Structure 1
């Protein structure tokens, strides 16, 4: 791998760390950069998953303020996401890489739309006699959704953070910056689980992963600081629109 490719991946890593920690869209920059560096799709996918481990480390370090007091919640969500990530990694290693190709844009579009309409849907749910904010009926769908997003993150991962943010946003009433920090740890758990499997069983390009991961570490450390200073509603709209843009782009490429 030449110096130009290393520089490309490092810069893409910084952009991925920023967008990943802020909007859950790390792969918007990292995956195309790996393809541009000459990696085939499957190798790019697994290398991307390994490199984005740095995203979790950076956002955890940068979000200590938001994560304070969230220990039990983080443990529960991380275990669910990690279990899903393990299944997703197993699926990738045993099925064609294009298996989710048709459904991925629709999943991303759905998650983005849910972020946009979070408040009306939350009010509707809270006014429903079948909804209990802290009860079993609320927790079971959340657990299943986190597990499925973890599975998706372990398998492919593009905009998994958008999907996780949508799921968590519908389940709690808290500042977006807190939900975003929790989202980063949950998706990171799925990512780390899959990355361990890929490190031993898949064609990871380690030089590319190192260059990309270093950039991700820098960008993801800055991201939470940026989130604290941005107004919540415009940030939520920007995340949703970016997710919809990615969904359209992936649909266009696959058509």
Structure 2
């Protein structure tokens, strides 16, 4: 590996770690870099999944304070993310490379719309619960149908994350923000844990059955861990409106970039 390639990959890893922690679209930094440097798309995808997993864990640890008292919520969501990640890795290894990526821009645009309308929807849900006399002290309770719908959405996002990983954080923030009324920073912490689970599961499978560039993995791992901690410090200090704006900007950039890649 040429030295400047290594420097560029490491820098991309730091930036991806920061973005993944704050909102989730870090793959859209590292994936184009790896492809531009000559790595095959599948190798770039699988190496990303493994290399960025430590950064996802680092970012999740950075949000540990916001996650206190929400262990049961995480445990109820993790199986859906894990199983979805397994399905996504199977799709990547068995379907044509372009089969899933063609609908990714549509999914990201949908997620951005959900992020934009989330405050009004959450306020409406809160008013409805108050009129019904529902205790919303924990800020995250929902109906049985809402819980089933949320778990199903997390499962589908896990499939997507296991296949390509880019912008899964945007989608998680969108669906959780609409169906739950927890503070945005707490949702961001939950998003980081679920994204980390998807990356770990997918990366573990890829390590055994998919083409991997281990030097790339090592560089991304070191960079993303550093970026994950930086992102946690930045993200935790952002007010909800600013954090939501970051989500929309990064998500829109992701959609545009993926459309351009399809042309």
Contact preservation (8 Å) 2:126, 2:181: no
Shift of 1:174: 2.2
Counterpart-to-counterpart distance in 1, 2:183 and 2:217 = 33
Q: What SS does the corresponding residue of 2:218 show, helix, strand or coil?
A: helix
Contact preservation (8 Å) 2:162, 2:198: yes
Q: Quick check: 1:245 aligned with 2:253?
A: yes
What pairs up with 1:175-190 in 2 under 5 angstroms?
175-190=183-198
Contact preservation (8 Å) 1:81, 1:190: yes
Aligned to 1:60: 60
Aligned to 1:28: 28
Scaled by the length of structure 2, the TM-score of the pair is 0.91
Of the structure 1 ranges 103-112 and 232-241, higher mean CA displacement relative to structure 2 is found in 232-241
Shift of 1:125: 4.8
Q: Quick check: 1:226 aligned with 2:221?
A: no
Q: Which of residues 218, 221, 234 in structure 2 aligns to 1:213?
A: 221
Counterpart-to-counterpart distance in 1, 2:16 and 2:70 = 25
RMSD between superposed Cα atoms in Å: 1.8
Summarize deviations over 1:107-166 as a string: whole Å, max 9, x none: 01111111111022234455679x995221110100100000000000111111111111
Summarize deviations over 1:227-254 as a string: whole Å, max 9, x none: 1212211220221122012112211221
Summarize deviations over 1:167-191 as a string: whole Å, max 9, x none: 1111221221111111011121112
Counterpart-to-counterpart distance in 2, 1:127 and 1:252 = 42
Aligned to 2:87: 87
Summarize deviations over 1:196-237 as a string: whole Å, max 9, x none: 110000001111011011100000012111112122112202
Contact preservation (8 Å) 1:81, 1:149: yes
Contact preservation (8 Å) 2:83, 2:158: yes
Aligned to 1:120: 120
Aligned to 1:51: 51
Contact preservation (8 Å) 1:82, 1:191: no
Aligned length: 254
Counterpart-to-counterpart distance in 2, 1:75 and 1:2 = 43
Counterpart-to-counterpart distance in 2, 1:72 and 1:37 = 43
Counterpart-to-counterpart distance in 2, 1:224 and 1:164 = 17
Counterpart-to-counterpart distance in 2, 1:254 and 1:135 = 40
Runs of at least 5 residues in structure 2 that lack an aligned partner in the other structure: 135-140
Q: Which of residues 172, 179, 184 in structure 2 aligns to 1:164?
A: 172
* Cα distance change, pair 128–98 in 1 and its aligned pair in 2 (3 A): farther
Counterpart-to-counterpart distance in 2, 1:139 and 1:200 = 34
Of the structure 1 ranges 168-177 and 90-99, higher mean CA displacement relative to structure 2 is found in 168-177
Shift of 1:105: 0.4
Runs of at least 5 residues in structure 1 that lack an aligned partner in the other structure: none
Q: Quick check: 1:145 aligned with 2:153?
A: yes
Aligned to 1:155: 163
Aligned to 2:137: none
Counterpart-to-counterpart distance in 2, 1:107 and 1:150 = 13
